[in-house]
């Protein structure tokens, strides 16, 4: 039986843990709101970008671009997005599981797979297993800027254009809601053929400066950047949401534990009082006799 | 839509910067500066680092635009920029510091990414100009 002092010490320990987890939950709640905000801000840009692209494509006599070219798949590049820090529940585990499964499958089918990672967690995961990575970007989570997406996109586009890779796949946590994230595997290159705008109401004869081809060829890589940027933001929001949930659970577990420890403490205290009383009563009885 | 107005929208990956109906828009296209009045012919162009001005009544607004695209319709101008700032939001001290940094980098003959340093310089100079113009007028 644990002594009173031991139990008290444990209660203290659990209490301070619950304070920390509670604070962490609050911090990630604030970060989550910010990340979600940025996701929303990004949306109008992406929508209008699609609008322009499709209106360009609709008036097109089959515009082509290196990034729209579909080649036979041989080398596949996989970009895995994780967080830099832990304590966010199954967030990273889910990603790594899905990524490993996907990569194994591709390798079994005989494709060459190159791995790129974003986030310290994925980098450490592959390092520990001595799996080769081509490139790892770390330290950007938490302060994602558009420049980060541009940097990653430039790298990917270059590899695609010089035919080092024939397909690029992104694996990341898509933000569903504050309590649900979903791992998605999405292909970013080659780009899906751009749909011509459905409502072709005003058939404008656009004037293009410098030229239609030029504009198109600038917009297409931009679209890749946007997709990566969106994925980074989604992953960020998911991470904070996952951490919020994990910390909420941890706080609740700690409080449960405090409850049962307090019960145990009170029981032990009662037992010791009863024992002392018995001793006194026993002593009195003995003196009488 | 009010008659004789154009809807100007400036959108960046960081959000919607501006969306209002104005009388006149002037922007720096890659092939030169262009002005848009209501009823402009449909027109698509790339933008370079430069200033965008819009007029509404007697009031003028100035923006700094960092690359992008403009889609112009009869009653709408849409700017998709990498980044854009209202002149009143520009941090002049930062722009001045960036200008100095870029100039120093350009002075060194070696190990410099000239294209990058030059566009940094151009951004800094343009930012300062945008602030300057608002002060003068």
Q: What are the beta bridge partners of residue B47?
A: B29, B68
Q: Number of CB pairs < 8 Å for A and B?
A: 69
Residue B12 is nearest to which of A45, A52, A206, comparing CB atoms? Answer: A45
User: Greater confidence, A216 or A35?
Assistant: A35
Rounded distance between C-alpha atoms, residue B69 and residue B82, angstroms: 9
Q: What are the beta bridge partners of residue A33?
A: none
| C-beta atoms of A208 and B30 within 8 A | no
Instruction: Tell me: do B96 and B107 sit in the same domain.
Output: yes
**Structural domain contains residue B106:** yes
Structural domain containing residue B71: 6-88
pLDDT tens digits, A225-246? 888 888 898 899 999 999 999 9
Instruction: Tell me: do B37 and B65 sit in the same domain.
Output: yes
Angle at A93 between CA A75 and CA A132, to 5 degrees: 35
Mean pLDDT of A126-133: 89
Residue A212 to residues A124, A205, B26, Cα–Cα distance (Å): 45, 12, 22
pLDDT tens digits, A81-99? 999 888 888 889 999 999 9
| C-beta atoms of B71 and A210 within 8 A | no
Rounded distance between C-alpha atoms, residue B137 and residue B126, angstroms: 17
Residue A193 has pLDDT above 70, yes or no: no
Give the closest-approach CA distance of A227 to chain B in angstroms.
11
Q: What is the pLDDT of residue A196?
A: 58
The token pair that represents A56 in the structure block: 């360009």
Q: What is the pLDDT of residue A161?
A: 85
Instruction: Tell me: do B18 and B75 sit in the same domain.
Output: yes
Q: What is the pLDDT of residue A254?
A: 95
Mutation for testing the B interface, residue in A39, A42, A43, A45 having most B CBs under 10 Å: A45
Rounded distance between C-alpha atoms, residue B51 and residue B125, angstroms: 11
Q: How many helices (H) and strands (E) does chain A have?
A: 5, 6
**Structural domain contains residue B108:** yes
Instruction: Tell me: do B111 and B58 sit in the same domain.
Output: no
Whether A205 contacts chain B with CB within 8 A: yes
Q: Looking at residue B47, which CATH number applies to its domain?
A: 2.60.15.10
**Structural domain contains residue A265:** no
Residue A18 has pLDDT above 90, yes or no: yes
Percent of chain B with pLDDT strictly greater than 70: 94
Instruction: Tell me: do B80 and B106 sit in the same domain.
Output: no
Residue B40 has pLDDT above 70, yes or no: yes
pLDDT band at B115 (very low <50, low <70, confident <90, very high): confident
**Structural domain contains residue A186:** yes
User: Greater confidence, A105 or B1?
Assistant: A105
**Structural domain contains residue A56:** yes
- Lowest mean pLDDT, pick from A176-180, A193-197, A252-256: A193-197
Whether A276 contacts chain B with CB within 8 A: no
User: Greater confidence, A66 or A34?
Assistant: A34
Residue A201 has pLDDT above 50, yes or no: no
Rounded distance between C-alpha atoms, residue A136 and residue A20, angstroms: 31
Residue of B nearest to A208 (CA): B44
Residue A45 is nearest to which of B11, B29, B46, comparing CB atoms? Answer: B11
Angle at B108 between CA B105 and CA B109, to 5 degrees: 130
Angle at A133 between CA A127 and CA A139, to 5 degrees: 75
Q: Looking at residue B112, which CATH number applies to its domain?
A: 1.20.5.440
pLDDT tens digits, B53-110? 888 888 888 888 888 888 888 888 889 888 888 887 887 788 888 888 888 877 776 6
Mean pLDDT of B104-117: 74
**Is there a contact between B2 and B22 (Cβ–Cβ < 8 Å)?**
no
Angle, nearest 10°, between helix axes A212-288 and A91-108? 130
**Structural domain contains residue A53:** yes
Instruction: Tell me: do B33 and B18 sit in the same domain.
Output: yes
Q: How many domains does chain A have?
A: 1
Structural domain containing residue A166: 27-245
Rounded distance between C-alpha atoms, residue A242 and residue A83, angstroms: 11
The token pair that represents A209 in the structure block: 């400066």
Residue A150 has pLDDT above 50, yes or no: yes
Instruction: Tell me: do B83 and B96 sit in the same domain.
Output: no
**Structural domain contains residue A16:** no
Q: What is the pLDDT of residue A58?
A: 61
Give the closest-approach CA distance of A43 to chain B in angstroms.
8
**Structural domain contains residue A262:** no
Instruction: Tell me: do B122 and B72 sit in the same domain.
Output: no
pLDDT band at A257 (very low <50, low <70, confident <90, very high): very high
pLDDT tens digits, A102-121? 999 999 998 889 999 999 99
Chain A partners of B41 at a C-beta cutoff of 8 Å? 205, 207
Instruction: Tell me: do B34 and B57 sit in the same domain.
Output: yes
The token pair that represents A172 in the structure block: 């990341």
| C-beta atoms of B44 and A219 within 8 A | no
Give the closest-approach CA distance of B43 to chain A in angstroms.
4
Residue A229 is nearest to which of B13, B41, B42, comparing CB atoms? Answer: B13
DSSP letters for B53-117: EEEETTEEEEEEEEEEEEEE-SSEEEEEEEEEEEGGG--HHHHHHHHHHHHHHHHS-SS--HHHH
Q: Looking at residue A130, which CATH number applies to its domain?
A: 3.40.1380.10
Report the candidate in A21, A52, A79, A4 with the shortest Cα–Cα distance to residue A194: A52
Mean pLDDT of B105-130: 76
Q: What is the pTM of this model?
A: 0.79
Rounded distance between C-alpha atoms, residue A63 and residue A249, angstroms: 53
Q: How many domains does chain B have?
A: 2
pLDDT band at A17 (very low <50, low <70, confident <90, very high): very high
């Amino acid at each position: 039986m644990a002594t009173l002092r031991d139990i008290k010490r444990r209660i203290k320990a659990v209490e301070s843990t619950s304070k920390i987890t509670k604070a962490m939950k609050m911090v990630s709640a604030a970060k989550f709101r910010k990340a979600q905000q940025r996701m929303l801000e990004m949306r109008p840009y992406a929508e209008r970008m699609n609008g322009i692209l499709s209106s360009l494509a609709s008036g097109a006599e089959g515009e082509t671009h290196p990034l729209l070219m579909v080649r036979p798949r041989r080398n596949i590049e996989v970009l895995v997005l994780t967080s830099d820090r832990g304590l966010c529940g199954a967030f990273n585990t889910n990603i790594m599981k899905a990524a490993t499964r996907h990569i194994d499958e591709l390798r079994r089918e005989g494709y060459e797979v190159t791995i790129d990672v974003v986030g310290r967690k994925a980098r450490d995961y592959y390092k520990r297993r001595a799996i080769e990575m081509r490139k790892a970007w770390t330290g950007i989570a938490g302060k994602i800027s558009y420049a980060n997406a541009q940097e990653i996109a430039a790298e990917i586009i270059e590899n695609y254009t010089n035919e080092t890779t024939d397909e690029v796949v992104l694996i990341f946590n898509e933000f569903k809601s504050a309590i649900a994230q979903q791992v998605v595997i999405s292909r970013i290159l080659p780009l899906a053929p751009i749909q011509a705008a459905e409502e072709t109401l005003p058939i404008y004869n656009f004037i293009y400066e410098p030229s239609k081809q030029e504009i198109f060829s600038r917009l297409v890589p931009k679209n890749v950047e946007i997709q990566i940027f969106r994925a980074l933001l989604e992953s960020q929001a998911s991470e904070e949401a996952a951490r919020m949930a994990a910390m909420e659970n941890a706080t609740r577990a700690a409080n449960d534990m405090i409850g049962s420890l307090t019960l145990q403490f009170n029981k032990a205290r009662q037992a010791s009082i009863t024992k002392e009383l018995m001793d006194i009563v026993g002593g009195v009885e003995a003196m009488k006799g | 839509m009010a008659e004789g107005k154009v809807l100007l929208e400036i959108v960046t990956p960081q959000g919607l910067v501006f969306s209002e109906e104005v009388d006149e828009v002037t922007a720096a296209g890659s092939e030169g500066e262009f002005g848009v009045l209501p009823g402009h012919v449909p027109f698509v162009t790339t933008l370079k680092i430069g200033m965008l001005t819009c007029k509404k009544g007697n009031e003028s607004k100035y923006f700094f635009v960092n690359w992008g695209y403009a889609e112009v319709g009869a009653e709408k101008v849409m700017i998709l920029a990498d980044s854009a700032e209202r002149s009143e939001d520009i941090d002049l001290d930062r722009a001045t510091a960036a200008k100095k940094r870029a100039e120093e980098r350009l002075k060194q003959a070696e190990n410099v990414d000239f294209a990058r340093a030059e566009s940094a310089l151009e951004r800094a100079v343009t930012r300062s100009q945008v602030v300057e113009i608002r002060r003068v007028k």
